Amino acid sequence: MKEELKAIREAAERELRGAQDRRGLEELRVRYLGKKGKLTAILKRMGSLSAQERPAVGKLANEIRANIESELAARAQELQKAETARRLEREKIDVTLPGTRRELGHRHPLSAELREIEGIFIGMGFRIVEGPEVEYDYYNFEALNMPKDHPARDTQDTFYITDNILLRTQTSPVQVRVMEKQKPPIRIISPGRVYRSDEVDATHSPVFHQIEGLVVDRGITFSNLKSTLETMIRRMYGENSVVRFRPHHFPFTEPSAEVDVQCFACHGRGCRLCKGEGWIELLGCGMVHPKVLSNCGIDPEVYSGFAFGMGLERLVMRKYQIDDMRLFHENDVRFLSQF
């Protein structure tokens, strides 16, 4: 039996040296040390030995078991080091090589155009002011000379939350809030989202963006309004842009006007872009109504002012000859990558 144990030790050592992976090591462990392994089978026969032989054989068997376990652990460590070395060689990275270039995104056309417009007005001394999108009826309508029974309310298609709270239909409430808190001189623009209950189509959306401006001070005239808007339009569309003002009516300005720019595709001759008219409507404007100034605590006998408002989507559509507003919100990369 001692000779069999020595033979088992020699065979195990030889096979352990030849093991190439962890799976092979596990198979050897089971073969020699498992419940049905060779060493276990020898130990089961010790009952047939005499009392004098049993201690010596048991001692030898335990030494061989310990030796095999030690060899298994050592070989496992060697295989782990070899595998680590192979992985390091296989996965080696040359840190001096240039990295993979990642394509950077860019601003949405609405955001880019808004930044440009803000930059133009900041250069003229305006500051940017924002306000709440959920607004009181008073700030959205009444303070702007549109009481409860005013017919202009019917054209707003307003989203009401309660009888007195609504989603703002314009950014004009920001102007009212500024005039309540700040004494003239005032020179601000108020960009932001507005909401109206419109069906979604190529030229309408229930959510869109407006940029409104306000100037209040002593001696402000319509000439100041014209020069401000002409400067803005020429910086946006080119120094050769031709601008015209048409009389119009708004409840919160008097006198009021709509501003057109000569079509930059046909230069006034008439084409598809301007629908044959030669002019493209851009925005509405006017001198702040004295009643609006009074509602905000500003004396219209001392101060005057002008205001204007434009739709950001309309400006961008005109500038880039885009014919469907829905393209701005569908996030089609083929469309957005053009800007």
The pLDDT score that the predictor gives to residue 197 is 85
Measuring CA to CA, how many Å separate 199 from each of 27, 203, 205?
Answer: 73, 9, 6
Does 95 reside within a domain? no
Does 230 reside within a domain? yes
pTM of the model: 0.66
- Better pLDDT: 40 or 157: 157
Token output for 228: 């401000």
CATH code of 199's domain: 3.30.930.10
Min mean pLDDT across 130-134, 178-182, 184-188, 321-325 is at 321-325
The pLDDT score that the predictor gives to residue 156 is 64
Does 102 reside within a domain? no
Same domain, 201 and 284: yes
Judged against a pLDDT cut of 70, whether residue 47 lies above it is answered with no
Judged against a pLDDT cut of 70, whether residue 305 lies above it is answered with yes
The pLDDT score that the predictor gives to residue 215 is 97
Same domain, 192 and 327: yes
Q: What is the pLDDT of residues 52-103, one digit of tens each?
A: 677 776 677 777 778 877 887 887 888 888 888 888 888 877 788 888 888 7
Does 97 reside within a domain? no
- Better pLDDT: 215 or 322: 215
The overall average pLDDT reported for the chain is 86
Does 101 reside within a domain? no
Judged against a pLDDT cut of 80, whether residue 50 lies above it is answered with no
- Better pLDDT: 175 or 100: 175
A 10 A CB-CB count for 300 gives: 15
The last residue of one of the domains, among 40, 63, 90, is: 90
- Better pLDDT: 22 or 290: 290
157-175: average pLDDT: 91
Domain that holds residue 205: 109-336
Does 103 reside within a domain? no
Does 228 reside within a domain? yes
Same domain, 329 and 197: yes
Same domain, 142 and 281: yes
The pLDDT score that the predictor gives to residue 200 is 86
The pLDDT score that the predictor gives to residue 155 is 62
302-324: average pLDDT: 89
Same domain, 183 and 42: no
The last residue of one of the domains, among 62, 90, 118, is: 90
Judged against a pLDDT cut of 90, whether residue 9 lies above it is answered with no
Same domain, 26 and 117: no
Same domain, 269 and 169: yes
Judged against a pLDDT cut of 70, whether residue 169 lies above it is answered with yes
Measuring CA to CA, how many Å separate 136 from each of 90, 192, 251?
Answer: 67, 16, 18
Does 115 reside within a domain? yes
Same domain, 14 and 144: no
The pLDDT score that the predictor gives to residue 223 is 96
Percent share of the chain, pLDDT over 90: 43
Same domain, 185 and 273: yes
Measuring CA to CA, how many Å separate 226 from each of 209, 256, 259, 303, 327?
Answer: 23, 12, 9, 18, 32
Same domain, 86 and 229: no
CA-based nearest residue to 248, from 317, 308, 171: 308
Measuring CA to CA, how many Å separate 240 from each of 68, 115, 252, 262, 264?
Answer: 94, 22, 31, 10, 10
Judged against a pLDDT cut of 80, whether residue 237 lies above it is answered with yes
pLDDT category of residue 212 using cuts at 50, 70 and 90: very high
Number of structural domains found in the chain: 2
- Better pLDDT: 207 or 237: 207
The pLDDT score that the predictor gives to residue 253 is 94
Do 195 and 168 form a contact (C-beta atoms < 8 A)? yes
Same domain, 264 and 326: yes
218-230: average pLDDT: 95
Do 35 and 29 form a contact (C-beta atoms < 8 A)? no
Judged on CB neighbours under 10 Å (0-12, 13-18, 19+), 1 is middle
Same domain, 73 and 208: no
Q: What is the pLDDT of residues 253-295, one digit of tens each?
A: 999 999 998 877 777 788 776 778 888 888 999 999 999 999 9
